[in-house]
Amino acid sequence: MKINDVRNAILDKLSPFAVNNGFKVIKGRFALERNVSGKKDAIWFTYNSWGDEIHLFPYVSVDFSSIKSICSLCGFSLNYCAFINLLLFRLILTVGFNPDIRWQMQVANEDRIVVTEDSYNPEDVYNQVNNLLEYAIGYFNQISAISDVDRIYNERPISRYNPNCSGLDTHCFIGLISAWLSKNPDYDYIEAFYKTIIEKEDLRAETKSAFRLLIELLHRP
């Protein structure tokens, strides 16, 4: 059992879904991608492979070029404007969010699809992926505009543990830019909130410098 065989089997079976929903199959990225109204939607997989076992991690992501371009101007590299593990997303919808839920899933291996050589059945693996597709579409529908990014990052009370990003640094950049682009009426409070985090947390000097540059950029007439 090789990861290429598992990847090809999943993507081949996802082809009808991709066609019906406007996605392209990107085998090199182990992903489905589509461009819709200035944003990119993607369903993709990371994986760990060793011996006779493969762990597949299903993700969904949304990118807005306007947010990423502003980050680039400040020298900050942004991976995704919003992304989440689909198994985590499904559990949050079921039981709600708490800051520990992501780590609990990782410890219990519940954030992945485990494929073993002894029990590998391509149809069974596909069915596990197929059961997540409605949640992927739901995620895309919930984030159809930058104002939706603003909402999931900046809805009061703002949480320091947002499951839609990779950490506090990306949270601060995405949260502030989306609030500014969306003309959020609480922008001044949001800027002060993220500025305090950037100044007080043990983040890279380059990140702090990029955030100061971001504030200057957003305040330019």
User: What CA–CA distance (Å, rounded) separates 18 from 153?
Assistant: 29
Copy the structure tokens of residue 205: 């000097």
Confidence of residue 1 (pLDDT cuts 50, 70, 90): low
Q: Is 210 exposed, middle or buried (0-12, 13-18, 19+ CB in 10 A)?
A: buried
For tokens 């640094």, the residue is 169
Instruction: Spell out the domain ranges in the chain.
Output: 3-219
Residue 85 DSSP label:
E
pLDDT tens digits along 7-31: 999 999 999 999 999 999 999 999 9
Give dist(CA 191, CA 189) in Å, integer.
Answer: 6
Which DSSP state fits 72? Answer: H
